[in-house]
Amino acid sequence: MTEELTNESFAAFRDTLRDGSEDAFRRVVEQFGPYVMRTIRRRLDDRMRSRLDSNDFAQAVWMTVFEHRDRLEDLDSQERLIAFLVTIAQRKVRGEFRRNVQAEKQNVNRETRAGRESFVLALPDRNQERASQILIAAEQWERMTADEPERYRRILELRRDGATVDEIALATDVNERTVRRVIQRIAEKLE
């Protein structure tokens, strides 16, 4: 961390930061970034860690500071700047927590990890599908099957359509273990 600023030197530094100086902004990120990251990591709920990156929150904090440089006018010391940055970081994490954990639509508590055997490649229900879902599913399907031999593609198509491992083995005249291996390999490819 760089040297401690006096109140006079902090005021000059704050003014150059408020005026949009890239060097001042780079310095504030270097000097006060650890406070921001520490706050984010302490506040980030375990249920959100696998889905959200601490660095994304930090970038959001720095964007907010940059976009609202005029708010820096009221800060008269490094301590007040740190408190300002910590408050922004806390609010960013809290907002994402509300969107991802508390909101019913994207509630991470409702997520379950499927076993490899239950892996089913399925397009959205035709009655409820949206264009974006269809495109995403089609792109994912293309990515998964691009390098696969024709007989493996047939196994995957049957699985996508909801066939069981036994049914796929019968329909393709392939051993059940081979069917399971193909499905497992594709599941690992997706992860």
Scanning 19-100, the segments in alpha helix (DSSP H) are: 22-43, 46-49, 54-67, 78-97
pLDDT at site 124: 47
Regions of the chain short of the pLDDT cut 50: 1-2, 117-121, 123-124, 127
Average pLDDT for the chain: 76
Residue 51: C-alpha distances to residues 39, 77, 132 (Å)? 18, 36, 21
Rounded CA-CA distance 20/69 in Å is 8
Count CB neighbours of 69 within 10 A.
16
- pLDDT for res 33: 86
Which pLDDT value is given to residue 72?
Answer: 81
* CATH number of this structure's domain 7-109, picked from the four choices 1.10.4190.10, 2.60.40.650, 1.10.1740.10, 3.40.50.300: 1.10.1740.10
Q: What pLDDT score does 190 carry? A: 67
Q: Where are the domains of the chain?
A: 7-109, 116-190
At 164-181, the pLDDT tens digits run 888 888 888 888 898 898
What is the Cα–Cα distance from 155 to 172, expressed in whole angstroms? 7
User: What percentage of the chain carries pLDDT values higher than 70?
Assistant: 75
